[in-house]
Amino acid sequence: MSETPTKYSFGMIGLGTMGRNLLLNIADHGFAVAGYDKSQKQVDLLREESEGKAVEGFSDPEAFVQSIATPRAIMMLVPAGPIVDAVIVEMQQYLSPGDILIDGGNSHFTDTERRATSLEKVGLHFFGMGVSGGEEGARFGPSMMPGGDREAYKVMQPVFEAIAAKVDGAPCVAYMGPGAAGHYVKMVHNGIEYGLMELIAETYGVMKNGLGMDNEAIRQTFTKWNEGRLQCYLVDITKDIFAYKAPDTDHLLLDDIRDEARSKGTGKWTSQSAMDVALPIPTIDNAVSMRDLSKFKALREQLAALYLPVASPLSGDKEELLRQLEEALYFSMVVTYAQGMHLLASASKDLKYDLQLATIAKIWRGGCIIRSVFLNDIFNAFEQNKELEHLLLDPNVQKQVTSVLPGARTVVGAAVAAGMAVPAFSASLSYFEALRTARLPSNLIQAQRDYFGAHTYELIGHEGVFHTQWTPKHEDATFKKGAQVEEEPQSQQPVTPNK
């Protein structure tokens, strides 16, 4: 290391891959920084990798805090949950009123709200910030989603704008809103990520099992697709995965990996939050469910042996089906983004975050895991119409969706006919078909609810809510064995709406 100042301008708690890389990124942009970790090994690794930079590592929390210029700005990059609370408790004894504490991990937004309220009472500024881009993004330019204490963010804004990924010269970081807005946006980002990953995995399954393509053909296809409208980070890394062979072998490492997907919970949180605000995101929900289902490996093997035959090849012209598969993937990715943006818009009203969807799309265009060329279309849609209720209402998006819809229908139909599971594809298509249906059969559900539970219903062209006695109340005027007693229809009785 070169000579470093007595006081550092920024501190990082947690020197794992993400924390260490982000700290080195900050140092690369001319800021003197300090890092803290309980593990001396991590501290030594920071010192080794920061040779020649204004960086210092600490394993003593008090010495770490005292090394930072006041008012102190300190960021935590530690696992979400109780560990964050433990770090806050540890640091509070050394911090002073006016200091800034930043949670850069994947904390649940409700935890962030709680922590912000608690720390405000003792005079500490706090904000939660989602960070996306993995270890490479952290080192060379992530997408960041800060929210909470606006004044605290303004202090850190020059630092974060310097280290963020850039698209057309604009930094991929912006203030999201009050409270836990930053962590909420990152949570939905991760939900979209789950959906896109499941769609790409299902595409791989259709290629391999439905179209009989070998690994090299699949690699070439993803490479070609990534040069067109499907251009995105996740497709880009997929083509690389299909080129990587296990060391000292002649086959892909991918073929040795168990088909049991793991998760850290952020996709589940997205689904739970969507249910809390009564908003459908079925593609994301199915992606979460499929990760859970994949873990039942032994059960799947038993059922595979029991329910034969296995899925058959897709029927039809292979090249034409491959073209339609590209359309189906693009269609479903658009729908996944649309579901996520719709959730952000709805939750923003409920939680009073005042989220700006154009700004969110703008900072997702670079650095983050879900970056894609389509985010330019999302940005343009919400920039041109800030009151846009749903992405699918945008004329440009409508044109794109209409052009690929036939392919989506063909692929889902062919896969189902062949006995192949494509739950995220199916959910995307069904979501779209239902959302564009002016009159759904949900009126029957309301009638059923009123029948068995007197839950009431509303009538077309009439104010108020109604309840009907659908059958006579006396016992002998109900269903008898094998025959239904016919009675005069009951009149609707208006009832007072529930307050």
SS3 70: coil
Half-sphere exposure of 58 (CA within 13 A, CB side): 17
Could you tell me if residue 479 is inside a domain?
yes
Domain boundary among 150, 179, 208: 179
Whether residue 216 sits in one domain with residue 145: no
SS3 159: helix
Average pLDDT, the chain: 92
Question: What's the pLDDT tens digit per position in 265-321?
Answer: 889 999 999 999 999 999 999 999 999 999 999 999 999 999 987 889 998 899 999
What mean pLDDT do residues 409-423 have? Answer: 96
Beta carbons of 210 and 418 less than 8 angstroms apart: yes
Query: What are 462's two structure tokens?
Result: 């009439």
- E strands, 70-150, are 73-76, 100-103, 125-132, 143-148
35's enclosing H/E stretch is strand 33-36
Could you tell me if residue 1 is inside a domain?
no
CB atoms within 10 A of CB 430: 13
Between CA 90 and CA 133 the distance in angstroms is 28
Beta carbons of 464 and 475 less than 8 angstroms apart: no
Whether residue 149 sits in one domain with residue 86: yes
Query: What are 367's two structure tokens?
Result: 């650095």
* % of the chain surpassing 90 pLDDT: 88
- Give the per-residue pLDDT at 476: 46
- Give the per-residue pLDDT at 269: 96
Whether residue 225 sits in one domain with residue 202: yes
Could you tell me if residue 269 is inside a domain?
yes
pLDDT band with cut points at 50, 70 and 90 for residue 472: confident
What mean pLDDT do residues 469-498 have? Answer: 53
Does the pLDDT value for residue 402 go beyond 60?
yes
CATH number of the structural domain spanning residue 80: 3.40.50.720
Q: Name the catalytic one among 193, 202, 326, 327.
A: 193
Whether residue 417 sits in one domain with residue 311: yes
Whether residue 215 sits in one domain with residue 358: yes
Domain boundary among 160, 179, 198: 179
> Does 193 qualify as catalytic in the annotation?
yes
Could you tell me if residue 200 is inside a domain?
yes
Half-sphere exposure of 337 (CA within 13 A, CB side): 29
> Hunting for tokens 């499907």 — which residue is that?
230
119's enclosing H/E stretch is helix 109-121
Beta carbons of 56 and 8 less than 8 angstroms apart: yes
Structural domains of the chain, count: 3
Beta carbons of 383 and 194 less than 8 angstroms apart: no
Whether residue 421 sits in one domain with residue 359: yes
CB atoms within 10 A of CB 216: 11
CATH number of the structural domain spanning residue 431: 1.10.1040.10
CATH number of the structural domain spanning residue 474: 1.20.5.320
What mean pLDDT do residues 235-239 have? Answer: 97
Q: What is the pTM of this model?
A: 0.92
Whether residue 378 sits in one domain with residue 267: yes
Backbone angles phi, psi at 245, to 5 degrees: -95, 145
> Does 186 qualify as catalytic in the annotation?
yes
Bridge pairing between strands 166-167 and 170-171: antiparallel
Beta carbons of 179 and 390 less than 8 angstroms apart: no
Query: What are 130's two structure tokens?
Result: 């989602």
What mean pLDDT do residues 462-491 have? Answer: 62
pLDDT band with cut points at 50, 70 and 90 for residue 479: very low
Does the pLDDT value for residue 163 go beyond 80?
yes
Question: What's the pLDDT tens digit per position in 325-341?
Answer: 999 999 999 999 999 99
Does the pLDDT value for residue 499 go beyond 80?
no
Q: What is the SS3 string spanning 270-313? A: HHHHHHHCCCCCHHHHHHHHHHHHHCCHHHHHHHHHHCCCCCCC
Measuring CA to CA, which residue among 377, 336, 334, 331 is closest to residue 357?
377
What mean pLDDT do residues 92-98 have? Answer: 94
Whether residue 209 sits in one domain with residue 97: no
Whether residue 346 sits in one domain with residue 237: yes
Q: Name the catalytic one among 186, 198, 326, 327.
A: 186
Question: What's the pLDDT tens digit per position in 54-83?
Answer: 999 999 999 999 999 999 999 999 999 999
Domain boundary among 383, 410, 435: 435
Beta carbons of 361 and 382 less than 8 angstroms apart: yes
Could you tell me if residue 145 is inside a domain?
yes
CB atoms within 10 A of CB 244: 11
Whether residue 276 sits in one domain with residue 353: yes
Query: What are 283's two structure tokens?
Result: 């593609």
Whether residue 461 sits in one domain with residue 419: no
Domain of 288 in residue numbering reads as 186-435
Bridge pairing between strands 143-148 and 125-132: antiparallel
Whether residue 377 sits in one domain with residue 340: yes
- Give the per-residue pLDDT at 51: 86
- 299 CB-contact burial (10 Å; exposed 0-12 / middle 13-18 / buried 19+): exposed
Does the pLDDT value for residue 477 go beyond 60?
no
Does the pLDDT value for residue 196 go beyond 60?
yes
- Give the per-residue pLDDT at 263: 85
Could you tell me if residue 2 is inside a domain?
no
User: Which residue type, as a one-letter code, is found at position 399?
Assistant: K
User: Which residue type, as a one-letter code, is found at position 2?
Assistant: S
Query: What are 494's two structure tokens?
Result: 């208006």
Could you tell me if residue 3 is inside a domain?
no
- Give the per-residue pLDDT at 246: 87
Measuring CA to CA, which residue among 71, 41, 68 is closest to residue 54?
68
